[in-house]
Amino acid sequence: MTYKTVKVEKGRGGWGIPLLITPVPGKDKISSITGGGIHPVAQKIAELSGGTAIDGFRHPVADGEVACAVIDCGGTCRLGILPSKNILTININGGGPSGPFAKFIKEGLYVSGVRVENVSLAEKQTGGEK
């Protein structure tokens, strides 16, 4: 079985260019850091890609195992810390670069305002083997 590439686009009022997420062996966790279990956006990314959705608060994993993180940050902490570690970051809240971590919030690394309908299989697949 192979992993699939998923495209995550900014939602209404969001920021950023589409992210392409392709899990690979050892880096296949879709970390939901929303404080309420696994967010539906994280679940859809996992279902389409073949990755594994996890509750990043209850079951944190090493940064190197994370294919992407789904957050709900309206401030500056998670919003900038994860991109500063080069982790693809999907914020379900809107908004672009701001605050002390703004320099890390870059197109191609961060997208915001994301809803379930903004997640789809990418047209071009670059999936790796499981």
**Active-site amino acid positions:** 73
Q: What are phi and psi of 117, to 5 degrees?
A: -70, -10
φ, ψ at 7 (rounded to 5°): -105, 130
Cα-Cα-Cα-Cα dihedral of 21, 27, 32, 33, to 10°?
-110
If you count them, how many residues does the chain have? 130
**What are the Cα distances from residue 24, in Å, to 30, 55, 67, 130?**
12, 19, 8, 7
Sole residue written with tokens 């191609």: 108
Strands 6-8 and 66-71: unpaired
